[in-house]
């Protein structure tokens, strides 16, 4: 999906929500949203505001726009962020995870995984 106004988070979230509304109109089951970098924050925002979203995957997400993360619960959120990322620091992913946990302490009892410590720099392989 392409955004009408790239890098304008509210407009991009509305674009995603329009796509989800279309899928719902076509009688598709609830959907999972996946976004990378700026798109990670966009899918968090759109997912938090749309009940037809079953869950969200954010790959190397930025923190700007991810403030609605606490509203995703109890739907699943997977945040994948490598420590070798040179564009957005690993702390962005940790901040999003921490934001979720601070608003929903019952949501998850696991600590962030270290399985992706050596992930590609900002997932350039995608």
User: 43 is written with which tokens?
Assistant: 């899918």
What pLDDT digit, counting tens, does each position of 61-93 carry? 999 989 999 898 889 999 998 888 899 999 999
Domains and their CATH numbers in the chain:
9-104 (3.40.50.1820)
CA distances from residue 84 to 28, 60, 80, 94, 102 in whole angstroms, order as listed = 37, 11, 12, 14, 26
What pLDDT digit, counting tens, does each position of 13-70 carry? 999 999 999 999 999 999 999 999 999 999 999 999 999 999 999 999 999 989 999 8
> Residue 97, Cβ neighbours under 10 Å: how many?
18
Measuring CA to CA, which residue among 73, 82, 75 is closest to residue 30? 75
Is residue 85 within 8 A of residue 122, CB to CB? The reply is yes
Pairwise CA distance, residues 47 & 68, whole Å: 9
pTM as predicted: 0.81
User: 74 is written with which tokens?
Assistant: 């109890």
């Amino acid at each position: 999906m392409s955004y009408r106004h790239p890098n304008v988070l509210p407009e991009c979230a509305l674009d995603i929500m329009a796509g989800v509304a279309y899928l719902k109109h076509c009688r598709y089951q609830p959907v999972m949203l996946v976004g990378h970098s700026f798109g990670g924050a966009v899918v968090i925002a759109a997912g938090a505001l749309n009940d037809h979203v079953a869950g969200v995957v954010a790959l190397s997400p930025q923190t700007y726009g991810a403030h609605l993360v606490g509203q995703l619960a109890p739907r699943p959120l997977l945040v994948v962020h490598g420590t070798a990322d040179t564009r957005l620091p690993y702390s962005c992913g940790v901040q999003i995870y921490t934001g979720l946990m601070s608003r929903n302490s019952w949501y998850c009892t696991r600590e962030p995984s270290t399985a992706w410590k050596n992930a590609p720099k900002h997932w350039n392989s995608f």
